[in-house]
């Protein structure tokens, strides 16, 4: 189907949402309660537990018997309660990454405690609208020591609608910040997939929103998910790739297939470089990633580097392109911001 679709349904026994564009799966959100009680975005009251001497971090006690790890322990002492937000996912048996800089998300704006000021999305180019939104934000903040970020969806929204949502977010922020004392407790759960889709996929507005028990099958989401659960990735042309996750790293292998032309390696490698950010995001893969590109002359590495940089610059998730190893492999490190799709499938049953 042509156009932009938001598809709401269920996957692996969990609530799920898919973003489709011209029949291609662009983004996929799946509930994670089957594998973790604390999803990225959840805000908790934690208790500082054990300092990691020489590393600058500290382990925290979280609700639901979970353990968190705060990388920067500045100003934190053992036994002290503090508010944290789950910042990513962890492998089974490892501590969840957390941050102390909280972020409250809405459809039209974000509240940033401890970072005062009003900022308007750069995607809003109308100077008069930017000025109006900035004034609206300042009026709503009043004397609160928080910050506001007006998202691009606010550009075409009614001012009353924006003000209503941001007022609720600011009140919620005040209530949560007042809960800094006590035992570990979940104070604000992460948004559900349907809620997150409503917040993050509003701009540009979808051409259609599909719902119903058969929505994923009807709109081709199930077929796309089946492909993601396979290590094989077909590429434009004759090439293909294999993506396999191990406990230590994610390995990616690129092949030219039946193409034996001199430029076959570069063509397959460029195709994989452009597709890799989407594949990693949809599969929920992160951490250390090693790519064994198809053979090509060393002089072509600069071209491939540029393609990789452009592809990951638009990906959104924090990614560090480390570079080439002595053996000719390419290394990168991607933030673990989602539970791996294969892990969700194993927990809830495929389909």
Q: What is the pLDDT of residues 299-317, one digit of tens each?
A: 999 999 999 999 999 888 8
Q: Which CATH superfamily is domain 43-99 in?
A: Nucleic acid-binding proteins (2.40.50.140)
Q: What is the pLDDT of residue 124?
A: 95
> Long-range contacts for 128-132 (Cβ within 8 Å, ≥24 apart)?
129/155, 132/159
Per-residue pLDDT of the chain (351 residues; tens, 9 = 90+): 789 999 999 999 999 999 999 999 999 999 999 999 999 999 999 999 888 776 778 999 999 999 999 988 777 878 899 999 999 998 878 899 999 999 999 999 999 999 999 999 999 999 999 999 999 999 999 999 999 999 999 999 999 999 999 999 999 999 999 999 999 999 999 999 999 999 999 888 899 999 999 999 999 999 999 999 999 999 998 899 999 999 899 999 999 988 889 899 999 999 999 999 999 999 999 999 999 999 999 999 999 999 999 999 988 889 999 999 999 999 999 999 999 999 999 998 654
CATH 3.30.230.10 residue ranges of the chain are 104-191
As a whole number of angstroms, the distance between CA 161 and CA 155 comes to 11
Q: How far is CA 174 from CA 20, 102, 111, 285, in A?
A: 37, 12, 10, 35
The reported pLDDT for the residue numbered 350 is 53
Q: How confident is the model at residue 296, as a pLDDT?
A: 95
In the chain, what is the straight-line distance between the N-terminal and C-terminal CA atoms, in Å?
22
Residue limits of CATH 2.40.50.140 in the chain: 43-99
Class of domain 104-191: alpha beta
pLDDT at 54: 65
In angstroms, the CA 109 to CA 117 distance is 13
Q: What is the 3-state secondary structure (H, E, C) of the chain?
A: CCCEEEEEEEECCEEEEEEEECCEEEEEEECCCCCCCCCCCCEEEEEEEEEECCCCEEEEECHHHCEEEECCCCCCCCCCEEEEEECCCCCCCCCEEEECCCCEECCCEEEEECCCEEEECCCCCCHHHHHHHHHHHHHHHCCCCEEEEECHHHCCCCHHHHHHHHHHHHHHHHHHHCCCCCCCEEEECCCCHHHHHHHHCCCCCCCEEECCCCHHHHCCHHHHHHHHCCCEEECCCCCEEEEEECCCCEEEEEECCCCCCCCHHHHHHHHHHHHHHHHHHHHCCCEEEEEECCCCCHHHHHHHHHHHHHHHHCCCCCEEEEEECCCCCEEEEECCCCCCHHHHHHHHCCC
Which residues make beta-bridge pairs with 7? Answer: 18, 210
Residue pair 341/282 in contact by the 8 Å Cβ criterion: yes
CA–CA separation, 268 and 241 (whole Å): 9
């Amino acid at each position: 189907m042509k156009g932009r679709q938001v598809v709401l349904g269920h996957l692996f026994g969990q609530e799920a949402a898919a973003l489709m564009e011209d029949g291609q799966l662009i983004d996929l959100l799946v509930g994670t309660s089957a594998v973790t009680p604390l999803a990225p975005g959840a805000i908790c009251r934690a208790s500082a537990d054990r300092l990691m001497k020489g590393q600058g971090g500290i382990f925290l006690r979280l609700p639901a018997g979970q353990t968190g790890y705060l990388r920067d322990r500045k100003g934190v002492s053992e036994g002290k309660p503090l508010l944290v937000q789950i910042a990513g996912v962890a492998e089974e048996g490892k501590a969840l990454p957390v941050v102390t800089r909280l972020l409250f998300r809405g459809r039209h704006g974000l509240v940033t405690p401890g970072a005062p000021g009003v900022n308007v999305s750069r995607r809003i180019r109308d100077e008069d609208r930017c000025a109006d939104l900035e004034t609206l934000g300042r009026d709503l903040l009043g004397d609160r020591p928080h910050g506001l970020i007006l998202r691009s969806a606010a550009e075409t929204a009614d001012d009353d609608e924006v003000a209503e949502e941001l007022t609720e977010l600011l009140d919620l922020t005040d209530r949560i910040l007042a809960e800094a004392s006590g035992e570990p407790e979940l104070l604000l759960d992460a948004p559900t997939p349907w809620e997150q889709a409503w917040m993050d996929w509003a701009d540009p507005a979808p051409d259609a929103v599909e719902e119903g028990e058969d929505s994923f099958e009807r709109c081709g989401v199930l077929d796309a998910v089946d492909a993601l659960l396979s290590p094989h990735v077909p590429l434009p042309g004759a090439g293909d790739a294999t993506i396999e996750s191990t406990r230590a790293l994610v390995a990616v292998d690129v092949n030219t297939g039946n193409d034996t032309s001199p430029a076959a390696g570069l063509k397959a490698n460029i195709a994989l470089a452009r597709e890799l950010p989407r594949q990693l995001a949809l599969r929920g893969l992160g951490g250390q990633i090693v790519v064994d590109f198809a053979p090509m002359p060393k002089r072509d590495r600069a071209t491939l580097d540029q393609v990789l940089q452009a592809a990951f610059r638009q990906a959104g998730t924090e990614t560090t392109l480390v570079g080439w190893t002595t053996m000719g492999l390419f290394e990168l490190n991607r933030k673990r911001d989602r539970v791996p799709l294969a892990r969700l499938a194993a927990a809830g049953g495929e389909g």
